[in-house]
Amino acid sequence: MDKYRIKSGIKIKLDNWDPDDTGKYKGKKEDASEEITKLTNNLEELQELLYAEQKNRVLVVLQGMDTSGKDGVIRHVFEGVNPQGVKVASFKVPTPEEISHDYLWRVHKQTPGKGEIVIFNRSHYEDVLVVRVHGLVDESVWSKRYEQINQFERTLNDEGTTILKFFLHISAAEQKERLENRLTDPNKQWKFSVGDLKERQLWAEYMRAYDDVLEKTSTNWAPWYIVPANHKWYRDLVIGTILVEKLKNLNMKYPKPTEDLSKIVIE
């Protein structure tokens, strides 16, 4: 899965990345089903260990265009975890209180504590994406934020937070199909927003903005991964594989009991 990781300083053009990629599975979901089940079980065990040890912190950032599958990742990749140790933070339009502070203020409050996995469903990167594409602030303002974000994430990492950032890469044709599905399926119409169509008209502008985000903010301490997301099952497999690998690398251990339990008898 390392081929999806963006190395620091590499020039990025998303047009060169295939959102239809399914790796060695050649588009066959059934060939990956056993691996997906294994990943789910491994993640459940590792998250329990993370929560028990109360030492490490994990931040997962999910970014992508509308319908790219951020909610789906949360449902499927994390379906077996203990909800006590996993939180989801979604960043909508800032409130008046949030606007009165710096743009990272509301984000820092949501970062994980010891033993926690926190998933950002969208994130602080909206402040170099939406604000840029819609011209909400001057370029002189948003252009400084890449380095500010890098330093913010470095501080988190230095304090013990493992940061994994996933860009869910879908094609414009796939987004069209998913939006049409939302529009025609009565069980999915609640997800449909006319505003999504307006954002879709800005696809090219968003791709250029994401090119810069991925190029300027993928660091050794907080790497970006471009995840092929046209196939939902492969999207989940890629993210699950990377997450399990990183958790294993933390070399976690269950804490020893604080009391001598050898003589305890339960009657």
pLDDT band at 254 (very low <50, low <70, confident <90, very high): very high
111 alpha-carbon distance from chain centroid: 13
pLDDT tens digits for range 189-206: 998 988 889 999 999 999
Gap between the Cα atoms of 136 and 104, Å rounded: 16
Q: What is the mean pLDDT of residues 166-177?
A: 97
Gap between the Cα atoms of 225 and 217, Å rounded: 11
- Long-range contacts at 195-203 (CB < 8 A, ≥ 24 apart): 196/66, 196/67, 199/65, 199/66, 200/66, 200/172, 200/175, 200/176, 202/133, 203/65, 203/172, 203/175
- Judge whether residue 9 has pLDDT over 90: no
Per-residue confidence (pLDDT) for residue 14, from 0 to 100:
97
Indicate yes or no: pTM above 0.85.
yes
Strands in 161-169's sheet, in edge-to-edge order, are 86-90, 117-121, 57-64, 161-169, 224-228
**Phi, psi values for residue 86, rounded to 5°:** -130, 130
How is the chain split into domains, by residue range?
2-248
Residue located via tokens 């090119």: 211
Q: Which residues contact 16 (CB under 8 A, 6 or more apart)?
A: none
pLDDT tens digits for range 57-102: 999 999 999 999 999 999 999 988 988 899 999 998 889 999 999 9
3-state SS class at 160: coil
Per-residue confidence (pLDDT) for residue 261, from 0 to 100:
80
CATH architecture type of domain 2-248 = 3-Layer(aba) Sandwich (3.40)
Are 206 and 149 spatial neighbours (Cβ–Cβ below 8 Å)? no
71, 218, 253 from 214: Cα distances, Å: 21, 6, 34
